[in-house]
């Protein structure tokens, strides 16, 4: 399980979780 946090804007947080063969992209407004 790989969890990566990418910050593109000072108000947007992109969370990418890779639980094996399944990819989950969650965008949360900081």
- Mean per-residue pLDDT pooled into runs of 10, the chain (30 residues): 64 65 58
Q: Which pLDDT score is estimated for 17?
A: 64
Nearest-angstrom CA–CA distance, 1 and 9: 25
> Which residue range(s) make up the domain with 29?
1-30
pTM: 0.18
- Neighbouring residues of 11: CB distance < 8 A, sequence distance ≥ 6: 29, 30
> Are the beta carbons of 13 and 3 closer than 8 angstroms?
no
Q: Which pLDDT score is estimated for 11?
A: 67
Nearest-angstrom CA–CA distance, 24 and 19: 8
Q: Which pLDDT score is estimated for 28?
A: 63
- Report the Cα 27 to chain-centroid distance in Å: 6
Task: Say how many domains are in the chain.
Answer: 1
> Are the beta carbons of 20 and 7 closer than 8 angstroms?
no
């Amino acid at each position: 399980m790989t969890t990566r946090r990418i910050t593109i804007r000072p108000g947007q947080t992109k969370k990418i979780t890779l639980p094996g063969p399944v990819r989950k992209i969650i965008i949360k407004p900081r």
